Amino acid sequence: MIRLILGAVCAIAGLTVAGLAVSAIAAVGTDEVTGTEPFTVQDGAYAVVLNEQLVPYEGASAAITATGEQELFIGTASGVDTASYLTGIAHEEITEVDFGARALAHRFVPGEPQPAAPVTNRDWFLDTSAGTTVTHRFDLDAEPNVVLIAPVDPEGNLDGVTVSMSMDVQGVLAFSLLGAGLAVLFLGLAAFLLLRWWSSRLRPPPKGPADSAVRPGRLAGLRAAVADRLGRRRRVAATAGASALVLGLSGCAVLPVAQPAAPELTPYERPPLRAGEAGAFMTEYTERLGETLSGDQSALDQIQTGPLLERTRAEILIAEAEEETLGAVSFAEVTAGGPMFSDYPMWFIAVGDPGESDTVQAMLVTRESAVQDWKVGQALFVPRDQVPTLVADADGGVPMAPDEHQDVVQAVNEQLVPYLETGELPESDVAIAYPTDTFRSFREYVDQFSEGDDAFDDVTVSCEPYSDVDLAGLALQTQTGSVSFGETRCAITLKVPGDFALDMGTAVEAVMTSDGEGNVVQINTSLPHMLTTTDDSSSVVGSDWFLLSAQTSQE
């Protein structure tokens, strides 16, 4: 009976190991690569995307390949960027990777034929290549990204393109051969034990003397010997069974490919800038701004937005009227930081250091979507000693400013607006310092209209915080507190008698949007600033105030 049990256990173990070896070879072949059947992209799709987190394996590398008659683009990026870029665009999404079934599940997302910006000039890709056959290989244990396949032609699509995936599984052939050897060993041992058991059933029992008598001592010895023999057989059987179980389980565990499981997808997020991108952005921005100021100024809205764009357009008009030339400042060093983002829009604060200057340029840079480019929304030169230090966390993001920062913003507006309107600075419960002459200079400009022999009959100033963009809400923590940008818009209204001849100067005339007739003049101005806070103080700094536009009317 013991031989029968041992033989059955060995047979089961041999068949199990043999099954594992055969299935492994059938799945990956002798070249140790398993793959899926290719699928054809649906007509009209602009792109195919694969979230690398969908591959439910580890300890190996995988590859995705696309083949077509046209030149194809393949790149990897954060899922934040690819999701924004393909919003509203027709594309295919790979939804499941099943190497066991050798299939890729996918779905078509309808939309517009192509995005507004070509895929080949997007700066958020981490790695790219092109060709009629493109492949991206990735480590399944590395930080995942999203793979995007699209045509190089901005007006093209992926009609007729096929996509497949493969996975390298090093060591499967060696383990399979080892498993085959173990299977042969187990099956041979099983055959030997079963044959011994079968032959023992046919052997007649040994004969002894009919009248022999067993002495009590000898009978006790025989019983002890039989018990010892049975104990050894049980231990052998138990050891064999345990060995077979361990070997059977090891056949599943030693393969270098983890067992498939339903993948847990983690939402993507990233900082607005990666290492080295701040300097590259500032260099490109400076070059493009210089080209725009000296050439095609209609392209200004491609690099600037918000209040800065309005200001620069007015400065260009004033410079042309005064026959001056505007230029862009170059920077020797750039620091920048922004919070982590899981979707667009994105933004960051940058500080450009010209090198030999008492001031540096602070900027607020925004990006509405992955289709659009970075644009500077606010910029001003501030004293070097007023620039705070941004501190990024391990992921590269700078934390947002706490909610208490908005209380200081409100206090600044409640104090600054009345001062710009009247010249009187009201008291505040918050300690706020104004270390630059920006706001005093504005009041001096206003006061000149109501003083002297040529004073206007009526001079009024109406101010309010700029609200088209939530500048104050885009605030970051600093090493000692927090920082944000702001702006106040003021309208200066001047009234004169009807027969009075007005000469407002070259700058005001340059930004005049009416025909100049009338006895009421309104001058619209901009006063940008940067607010920094610490635990016990706040500081509001500006570089200058700016003319935006002017109009005349008849009262």
The pLDDT value recorded for residue 32 is 64
State both tokens at 493: 């209204």
User: What does the pLDDT read at residue 365?
Assistant: 97
Q: Are strands 482-495 and 458-465 parallel, antiparallel or unpaired?
A: antiparallel
- Phi/psi at 108 (5° precision): -95, 130
pLDDT of residue 237: 47
Please give the full DSSP string across 515-539, using - where no structure is assigned. Answer: -S-SSEEEEEEEEEEEEEE-SS-EE
498 — alpha (psi -120 to 50), left (phi > 0) or beta?
A: alpha
Q: Name the residue among 256, 292, 343 with its Cα closest to residue 57.
A: 256
β 346-353/359-367 pair status: antiparallel
The model's pTM: 0.80
**Quick one: pLDDT at residue 9?**
66
Residues 6+ apart with CB under 8 A from 380: 361, 362, 485, 528, 529, 530, 542, 543, 544
Kindly state the tokens that stand for 74. Answer: 């393949």
Give per-10-residue mean pLDDT for the chain (555 aa): 64 65 52 84 98 90 96 98 98 93 94 96 96 96 96 97 89 55 65 64 57 49 50 49 45 43 87 92 93 85 96 94 89 94 97 91 97 96 93 94 96 97 94 95 92 80 96 96 98 79 80 82 96 94 96 84
* pLDDT score, position 33: 78
Q: Which residues pair with 525 in a beta bridge?
A: 490, 547
What sign results for the dihedral spanned by CA atoms 388, 394, 397, 399?
Answer: negative
Residue carrying structure tokens 């392209």: 299
